[in-house]
Amino acid sequence: MNAQFEELIARLGEIADFNNAAGVLSWDQQTYMPPGAIRARAQQLTTLRRTAHERFTSDEIGQLLDDLEPQVAELEPGSYEASLIRVTRRDYDRQRKLSADLVARLTRTTALAREAWERARKASDFALFLPHLDEILDLSVEIAEALGYEDRIYDALLDRFEPGLKTARIEALFAEMKAGLVPLGQAIAGQQGRADDTFLHQDFPVDRQWDFGLEVITRLGFDFEHGRQDRSAHPFTTSFTPADVRLTTRLSPGNFKSALFGSIHEAGHGMYNQGIPMDLARTPLARGASLGVHESQSRMWENIVGRSRGFWTFWLPRLREYFPSQLEGVTVDAFYRAVNRVEPSLIRVEADEVTYNLHIFVRFEIENLMLERKVRLSDLPELWKTKMEEYLGVWPADDADGVLQDVHWSSGMLGYFPTYSLGNILSAQFYDQAVSEIPDIPAQIEKGEFGSLLGWMRTNIHARGAKYTPAELVELVTGGPIRTEPFLDYARSKYAEIYGL
């Protein structure tokens, strides 16, 4: 590597240090910071993030990229040097297109909108949030125009989370998912008695939930030498380098499922972060390929592994030692059915595997209508209800359980929701590929052995960091395009068996 490359690496490393330091402060804000520190912390975060942004979008970085691009043109695209230049260029061009003024206006607007959204949700009054959403939509359109797009305005916003993926492709994938999942959900709706989960709604002391969760994620392969778990109001995972990955979880005595599967989900994200090679650290390659690919890891561990019969064949006897009275007489089969109970509900974050994606389709369609100015914002509460009835057969009684339930729009994150469904699609596609190469994986899971599956994900997904776009990665790993069949086959056969369809 020549001096210019070394120069670029050094600069990117410093920028990463600013961002990672901001990450530590932000993690602290959501876990341990006393409430009175909020203003001071906001200043610290603004300074660090602005400094990182200014350094990254500097003319010097642009010049280095200009000089280095011809030098790596002949290298293999997956090589460290070629990937680093390509991905840094993509990030650089994107961030240069957004003026400092636009970024500052977005920061200000979303800070106020977040507060307004919390008030509006509490009061279940969309009108309180409407003027803020109006501003955020204007800003989102401005951002999309600045970033540019060829076909659909949604493309520009989606590309921030799923590099290279187009709205039309997402629509095609979602249409296949809809065609499979809506009838499946309807068939299940008539069979509710088959999955009784009442025993899960007893009192499960939170300290034991905590201990059991730790035991599970340790055995799955989350490395506590390079990570930790803490409590927060909203579970999340963050990583400062692959050597320091933080999970959070939320515990409540009456909601055993939410804490355990939440912990497994976040550990799935965390193991991805820990699996990124240290020699990619402090560069733009030291992250997941996309949010959807990230979500494929969390959803695979949470659902395909964590809600499988084999998994509970191993874990239920152990869980019974933690909660002997609550689980007295509960068989593996009964437990398996209980954690896979399907029930159309109003709230996305509480949704089961079958209906979860339907919530996403509602949001994706509405966001497109918003960005294409095909719906008046004041009509959103009604539109939301109509679509919820169409997809899930439920009708929100109020805005708190309807259009106001998610934080994303108040944070300016239009274009984000499809990443969740994409994660589900990819979770099954990657898992199928792993099992086709290592057929013993389901038998290993039944014995409480998860090393082969994690090892396959490490080699094929984690070790590549952000070198490839989601479509490139899927092609490389599975030899074909992104496909919905693995997820639909998985969902149909699993739930046909549970519900006797």
List of residues contacting Zn ion (CB under 5 A): 295, 298
The least CB distance from residue 30 to Zn ion, in Å, is 15
From 266, 302, 353, 367, active-site residue: 266
Could you give the CA distance from residue 37 to residue 39 in angstroms, rounded to a whole number? Answer: 6
Query: Which CB atom, from 266 or from 399, has the smaller least distance to Zn ion?
Result: 266
For the record, the structure tokens of 52 come out as 């990182």
Distances (CA, A) of 102 to 40, 90, 99, 415: 23, 19, 5, 18
The least CB distance from residue 8 to Zn ion, in Å, is 32
Say which amino acid occupies 323: F
The least CB distance from residue 293 to Zn ion, in Å, is 11
Could you give the CA distance from residue 183 to residue 197 in angstroms, rounded to a whole number? Answer: 23
Query: Which CB atom, from 135 or from 295, has the smaller least distance to Zn ion?
Result: 295
Sheet hosting strand 237-241, strand order edge to edge = 227-231, 244-249, 237-241
Q: Mapped to the 3 state alphabet, what secondary structure does 340-390 carry?
A: CCCCCCCCHHHCCHHHHHHHHHHHHHHHHHHHCCCCCHHHHHHHHHHHHHH
The least CB distance from residue 266 to Zn ion, in Å, is 7
What percent of the chain is helix, strand and coil (3-state, nearest 5)?
70, 5, 30
Question: What dihedral angle (degrees, nearest 10) is formed by the CA atoms of 354, 359, 365, 366?
Answer: 170
The least CB distance from residue 223 to Zn ion, in Å, is 19
For the record, the structure tokens of 142 come out as 């401005």
The least CB distance from residue 346 to Zn ion, in Å, is 20
| Residue 266 designated active-site | yes
Distances (CA, A) of 216 to 316, 430, 455, 498: 11, 22, 17, 24
Q: At what angle do helices 353-371 and 126-147 cross, to 10 degrees?
A: 70
Query: Which CB atom, from 278 or from 349, has the smaller least distance to Zn ion?
Result: 349
399 three-class SS: coil
Query: Which CB atom, from 283 or from 298, has the smaller least distance to Zn ion?
Result: 298
The sign one gets for the Cα dihedral 336, 339, 344, 348 is negative
Q: Judging by beta carbons within 10 Å of its beta carbon (0-12, 13-18, 19+), is residue 58 exposed, middle or buried?
A: middle
Query: Which CB atom, from 82 or from 300, has the smaller least distance to Zn ion?
Result: 300
Query: Which CB atom, from 410 or from 419, has the smaller least distance to Zn ion?
Result: 419
The least CB distance from residue 227 to Zn ion, in Å, is 16
Query: Which CB atom, from 416 or from 499, has the smaller least distance to Zn ion?
Result: 416
Residues recognised as catalytic: 266
